[in-house]
Structure 1
C-alpha cells in the first residue's frame, strides 16, 4: 500500500456518487446493506447530509446523517475502505458532519467493538443508562 497522506484526500458534500462506487465501499467493509444495493443507494441519496472522501476518482470513504433539521441528528453510516483506514479520513468526515449540526440537542449513533473508541475520541459518550434497541433485518452484528 502506498502512502496516502490526508492532503491527497478530497472531501465532497455532494450526492454525485455512483451506485457501483458505493457498493465497492460497503462490500469491502462487509456491511449487509450492500445486499440491498438499490435501497442502500436511495437511502444515501435521501440522507439529510452526505460527505464523501476521494483519492483521485476513487471513493475511499463516506458518512451520512439523518436529521429533523432542528434538534436531532443521527449518523447511521461511516465507512472507510480498509486500505485507507487509520489515516484520519473517518475522523475528518465525522467532524465535518458534527460541525454541520452544531448546537443540535442530540447527536446520536450506534457503535460497536473497535468503533466505540473511535467515536469517543471525537466526543461521543454512552448515553446515560440507555440501552440501544432496534428491529434489524441484517446478520452482520452480534447480538
Structure 2
C-alpha cells in the first residue's frame, strides 16, 4: 500500500501512543499531553498507510527566524523506506528562508539528519532538563 502524507490535526490519541510505544519513546507515558503538544505545534506532518499512522514529525517556531524540530518518528516496521526523509523535507519546506533550523540528534540518528542537510553545530552542546530515559 502507498504511504500518504498529511498535515491534519485530526489524529487519534491511541494511534499516536502506539507509534511512540513502538519506538520506545517515553512521551507515550503522557498520552494526553503528547497529543496536545503535537496538535499545537507550529507545523505537523504525518505519514499514513491507509488508516494507520506510520510516521510523524513536528516543528516549533517563532514564525520568523528560528524553527526547532523536536519529534520525528517512523514505526520500526516502516523504517528505511524514505518516510522520515519525506517528513523532514516537508517540514523544512515550510521554513526554507528561516535563519536557523535546530534539532537534537542522538548518535543513532546523526547520519540521517546530515543527509537531510543538518550539520553538527560547532562546539555547541545540547542541554536539557529531561524526564525521559531513552537517550
TM-score, scaled to structure 2: 0.98
Unaligned runs of 5+ in 1: none
Which residue is 1:92 aligned to?
A: 86
Which residue is 2:9 aligned to?
A: 15
Give aligned pairs, total: 135
Which residue is 2:128 aligned to?
A: 134
Deviations 1:6-65 (A, max 9, x none): xx1110011010000000000000000000111101100110000000000000000000
Structure 2 counterpart SS, 1:66: strand
Deviations 1:53-111 (A, max 9, x none): 00000000000000000000000000000000000000000001011101101100000
Between the aligned partners of 1:35 and 1:17, the Cα distance in structure 2 is: 17
Between the aligned partners of 2:23 and 2:10, the Cα distance in structure 1 is: 21
The match for 2:56 among 51, 59, 62 is 62
1:129 shift after superposition = 1.3
The match for 2:99 among 105, 129, 134 is 105
Runs of 4+ in 1 over 2 A off after TM superposition: none
TM-score, scaled to structure 1: 0.92
Between the aligned partners of 1:61 and 1:121, the Cα distance in structure 2 is: 18
CA-based RMSD of the aligned residues comes to: 0.8
Unaligned runs of 5+ in 2: none
Between the aligned partners of 2:22 and 2:38, the Cα distance in structure 1 is: 17
The match for 1:50 among 44, 48, 51 is 44
